[in-house]
Amino acid sequence: MRLQGLPQGKTADRKDNHYEVKPAMPNWQDLEFLSTSPICKRCLGRVFGRVGHGLSNNDRGDRMSFALTALGFSPDLKEERECSICHGLFLDLEGLGASIHEALGDYDFSTFLVGSENRVHNPLEKELESRFGMGESIKKEFNREFGKILSGRMQKEVEFKDPEVIVTVNLEYLSYRFWFRSLFIRGRYRKLVRGIPQTRWINFDKHDSVEEIIGIPAQTMVRAENFYLHAAGREDVDVLMLGGGREFVLELSSPHLRNIDLSNLAEKVRKSGAVEIADLEIVGGEMVEKVKNSRHDKSYRALIIAGDPIDPVAFRKAVSELSGKIIYQRTPLRVSGRRADLIRERIVKKADTISIDGTRAVVEMTAEAGTYIKELINGDGGRTDPNLSGLYGSSLKVEELDVLAITEEM
Ligand SMILES: [Zn+2]
């Protein structure tokens, strides 16, 4: 039977219209195909999910079923459990919600988002999509509907932009996994003892890196899975970090708690006697790259040793010649395995002789970010040019080095 007045023929460019909220222009065969498809009311509604703002897919299914009947078709709607598209996926969302709620019970968070994965390609769904255009995907409906259920049950807000927790449900097995936004703490650290590396060694028994001295108490406080120190540059193991300290962001992954008493953390770190932290605040994850990429001048104090008693006049002259000088540094031999072998241009902004005593002298200098100070003094076999040993005319070595301050660009 053929009804009069029914629009005929498909729109020519249906694929291009996928994203338009526009009723499809299906032909007779398409409507017949739809009426005889073994699907549920919800899935029928979802085919037209982009039409009828404010309607649920069940409402759409009801109306579409009515329309098909009015046009003389006999839609044969299935129960959801029998549906060839959703297979009853939506029937026990409350049960799934209860299980996820329980699994998350131990975690402190206020915002979350539901995602879904592993939806096996469904040929009937694809066929309907090619005939009627893109409706609403089953994933999208699941994420929305299950998000509402979880939100009500857990009393947490759904947040799209930057949720603290993402719940991803596997739509085939109804298994799930969680992702937790890391907690980020920004601050500045001072290193008061020599011989401490900035970051931990994997499989190393001593837990005395700056990263661990700050990270272990913080990890314990929020019951995080792991911790990572992201710092604005690094000092050598044997170099102290003094003055206002070096900026860092401590990342605590998968924390159970999101509130942390920062002054209590600072106090715990201070008790180490090796590291101090200050100016602590909770920040967003975008600060990690900002801090890591920040470039600041650094001021150093170096204790220098010479082979023979130092000639004060010649030494002071050599130091003052470095002040304001552009130097060329080829990647030092001691780090050449880890860094590209390049020649870098750096400016020594300031250099002062503080004291001279026999074969020892103390020098303070401020240099651009990335300047290798030990090599600036010993010359690194000519790889740094000019260098203090060369200007002085005799070999000099750095016995101790401290970072006094990390300053804004001067
Ligand atoms: Zn269905």
- One domain for residues 363 and 240: no
Q: Classify residue 46: in a domain, yes or no.
A: yes
Q: What is the pLDDT at residue 204?
A: 64
User: In this structure, are 30 and 141 located in the same domain?
Assistant: yes
pLDDT of residue 203: 61
**Judgement on whether residues 305 and 358 belong to the same structural domain of the protein:** yes
Residues 361 and 391 in one domain: yes
Mark whether 345 and 196 lie in a shared domain. Answer: no
Q: Structural domain of residue 348, as residue ranges? A: 297-407
pLDDT at 205 over 80: no
Write down the pLDDT at residue 408: 60
The average pLDDT across 85-105 equals 95
Mean pLDDT of 126-134: 89
| Same structural domain, 263 and 346 | no
How sure is the predictor about 71, in pLDDT bands with cuts at 50, 70 and 90? Answer: very high
Give 367-390 pLDDT, tens digit per residue. Answer: 998 899 999 999 999 999 999 999
Domain finish residue from 254, 278, 293: 293
CATH number at residue 281: 3.30.70.2510
Above 60 in pLDDT, residue 4?
no
State how many domains the chain has.
3
Residue 7 lies in a domain: no
Examine the domain organization and report whether 151 and 195 are in the same domain: no
Residue 3 is assigned to a structural domain of this protein: no
CATH label of the domain that carries residue 320: 3.30.70.3190
Is 106 in the active site? no
Distances (CA, A) of 91 to 88, 139, 142, 190, 339: 5, 15, 11, 57, 58
Question: Does any domain span residue 9?
Answer: no
Ligand 1 mean position, distance from CA 91 (Å): 10
Q: How sure is the predictor about 201, in pLDDT bands with cuts at 50, 70 and 90?
A: confident
The DSSP element (H or E) to which 221 belongs, if any, is helix 210-222
> Quick check: is 8 in a domain?
no
Q: Output the DSSP codes for 369-410.
A: TT--HHHHHHGGGGTEES-HHHHHTS-EEEEEEEEEEEE---
Rounded to the nearest angstrom, the distance between the alpha carbon of 148 and the centre of ligand 1 is 19
Do 48 and 132 lie in one domain? The reply is yes
More confident: 25 or 406: 406
Do residues 265 and 342 both lie within one domain?
no
Please give the pLDDT value at position 134: 83
Please tell me whether residue 211 adopts helix, strand or coil conformation: helix
pLDDT above 80 (res 3): no
Q: What is the mean pLDDT of residues 19-23?
A: 46
Domain end: 278, 293, 308, which one?
293
Overall average pLDDT of the 139-158 stretch? 95
Q: Is the pLDDT of residue 124 over 50?
A: yes
Looking at the structure, tell me whether residues 118 and 243 fall in a common domain: no
> What spacing in Å lies between the alpha carbon of 89 and ligand 1's midpoint?
8
- Kindly name the residue from 30, 62, 208, 236 that is annotated as catalytic: 236
C-alpha of residue 16 to centroid of ligand 1, in Å: 26
400 pLDDT more than 80: yes
Residue 355 within any structural domain of the chain: yes
Expressed in angstroms and rounded, the spacing between residue 55 Cα and the centre of ligand 1 is 17
pLDDT band at 15 (very low <50, low <70, confident <90, very high): very low
CA of 45 to the centre of ligand 1 (A): 9
Together in a domain, 303 and 390: yes
Compute the average pLDDT of residues 105-129: 90
186 has pLDDT over 70: yes
Distance 36 CA to ligand 1 centre (A): 14
Between 121 and 252, where is the model more confident? 252
* CA 108 to ligand 1 center in whole angstroms: 35
pLDDT at 51: 85
CATH at residue 75: 3.30.2300.10
Out of 117, 145, 179, a domain closes at: 179
CA of 83 to the centre of ligand 1 (A): 5
- Pick the more confident residue, 5 or 336: 336
Residue burial 73-112, b: 16+ Cβ < 10 Å; e: rest:
bebebbebeebebbbebbeebeebbeebeeebeebebebb
How far away, in angstroms, is 35 Cα from ligand 1 center?
14
pLDDT in tens, 285-339: 999 999 998 888 999 999 999 999 999 999 999 999 999 999 999 999 888 778 8
Asked whether residue 1 is assigned to any structural domain, the reply reads no
Average pLDDT over residues 190-199: 94
- Does some domain include residue 220? yes
Residue 24 is predicted with a pLDDT of 53
- Which residues, 6 or more positions from 102, have their beta carbon under 8 angstroms from its beta carbon? none
Q: pLDDT over 70 for what percent of the chain?
A: 92
Buried b (16+ CB within 10 A) or exposed e, 37-62: bebbbbbbbbbbbbbbeeeebbebbb
Q: Are residues 325 and 346 in the same domain?
A: yes
